[in-house]
Amino acid sequence: MNSQQHKAILDIGTNSFHFVVYKVRDDKSFLTIYRKRIVYRLALQKQNEKSFLSDEDFAQTLIIIEELKKIASQYSCSITATATSAIREASNKDAYLEHVQKTTGVSIELLSGEKEALLIYKAVAHYNKDAFSKRILCLDIGGGSTECILGEKGKILFVESLVLGAVRLSMQFFPGDKLDRNKIEVCRSFIHKAIEPIKQRVVAANMDFVTGNSGTIYAMKILALANRSNLGLEPQEEKILTREELEKAVDLLLSHKTIKERKTIPGIEPDRAAILPAGALILQSFFSMLNLSSLYLSDYSMREGKLLEILENVESEN
């Protein structure tokens, strides 16, 4: 492996396209040198109660990938692409994947919920060396699903992909512009019912700590930090989200009933204003149902897990 080799990973999610270029060193360590997030929500339409990818989804995907190919070429590397729940559940996913491959030359690996969870755990265990030897629960709240992974010493003990996502629940419970108390409680009840089947198993596992990496989790931490004084919060570590921080940040978020109002909250990303309430309710439900006091934020996620898998495969081939 050349000392300056680069790898480009594209993660096609429900809410956005995440693209990262890494510099990979001879010792297999790596450094992020370019990152781009393009917000585009896939498969929002339904046909016969099933989601499907529209003509616009096809067209926008091609435009985005061609743009990212140009960036990858600047680093003399090709794109490794993966897709998760939005495409996984679309009725015309096969036609979409074939069209993208034939038109752009980029093959998209469609990840199962279990494979997605495996890559997340691989990344988290690599990022936090202490986590490798401990029993940890990894949470990843995506646009269409939430991955729950319990692992220890590099091995996965339990995996569950829940049909809970920030975009999915926003469309289901908050399709209009305004939040109201009744819809919030109905959404919260729905989330609790989805988590309930795994609650006892997770609690009984006696995990050492909980970690997470997703836009929702980071957004809630940033919201707490940006409004710390107004919320009466004591300073906390940047890589830890406490239950108090989350509860007060959720209350602040939900007190702003419209998307326009939420965009005025310090620390909130404008393109998350519509979907963050649903994501925050998912995260809050995990904290309350599992009786969590805090969550560690990981800088590595599924994309880094995919990179690690690629590097492992290269090493085994050699």
Q: pLDDT above 70 covers what percent of the chain?
A: 96
Looking at the structure, give the CATH architecture of the domain made up of residues 5-110. 2-Layer Sandwich (3.30)
> For residue 267, is pLDDT > 90?
yes
Task: Evaluate whether 99 touches 65 at the Cβ level (below 8 Å).
Answer: no
Q: What is the mean pLDDT of residues 9-19?
A: 94
pLDDT of residue 2: 46
For the chain, give every domain's residue range. Answer: 5-110, 114-297
Q: CB within 8 A of 142, min separation 6: which ones?
A: 13, 14, 15, 84, 85, 165, 166, 214
Q: Kindly tell me if the per-residue pLDDT of 1 is higher than 50.
A: no
Q: Between 128 and 106, whose confidence is greater?
A: 106
Q: Using pLDDT thresholds of 50, 70 and 90, give the confidence band for residue 27.
A: confident
Residues paired with residue 22 on neighbouring β-strands, in sequence order: 7, 32
DSSP, collapsed to helix, strand or coil, labels residue 288 as: helix
Q: What is the pLDDT of residue 318?
A: 58
Model confidence at 87, pLDDT cuts 50, 70, 90, reads very high
Q: Is the dihedral of CA 169, 174, 177, 180 positive or negative?
A: negative
pLDDT: is 206 or 12 the higher one? 12
Q: Confidence band (pLDDT; 50, 70, 90) for 3?
A: very low
Tell me, what's the pLDDT at 46? 75
Please provide the average confidence, as pLDDT, over all residues in the chain. 92
Answer positive or negative: Cα dihedral of 170, 172, 176, 179: negative
Does domain 114-297 correspond to CATH entry 3.30.420.150? yes
Q: Tokens 């050349």 belong to which residue? A: 2
Q: Residue 38 in 3-state DSSP?
A: strand
pLDDT at 85 over 90: no
Question: Does the pLDDT value for residue 238 go beyond 80?
Answer: yes
Over range 155-181, report the average pLDDT. Answer: 92
Residue 128 has pLDDT above 90, yes or no: no
Q: Is the pTM of this model over 0.85?
A: yes
Dihedral sign computed on CA atoms, order 179, 175, 277, 39: negative
Do the beta carbons of residue 281 and residue 191 sit within 8 Å? yes
Check residue 317 and give its pLDDT: 63
Question: Residue with structure tokens 């989601």?
Answer: 51
Distance, CA of 230 to CA of 224 (rounded, Å): 10
Is residue 193 packed enough to be buried (19+ CB in 10 Å), middle (13-18) or exposed (0-12)?
Answer: exposed
CB 99 within 8 Å of CB 58: yes
Report, as an integer, the average pLDDT of 260-278: 96
pLDDT attached to residue 28: 83
How many CA atoms, within 13 angstroms, populate the side-chain half-sphere of residue 241?
30
For the residues 99-121, what does the mean pLDDT come to?
A: 93
Here the tokens at position 16 are 């956005």
Q: Print the SS3 string covering 136-147.
A: EEEEEECCCCEE
The dihedral formed by the CA atoms of 258, 195, 125 and 19, expressed in degrees to the nearest 10: -40
- Mean pLDDT value across residues 73-82: 97
Over residues 74-92, the mean pLDDT reads 94
CATH topology identical between 5-110 and 114-297: yes
First vs last C-alpha separation in the chain = 10
> What's the pLDDT band for 4 if we cut at 50, 70, 90?
low
Closest by alpha carbon to 302, among 135, 164, 133, 114? 114
Least confident window among 43-52, 163-172, 293-302: 43-52
Report the pLDDT averaged over residues 262-266. Answer: 97
Beta bridge partners of 12: 17, 83
* Exposed / middle / buried, residue 310 (Cβ in 10 Å: 0-12, 13-18, 19+): middle
pLDDT exceeds 60 at position 210? yes
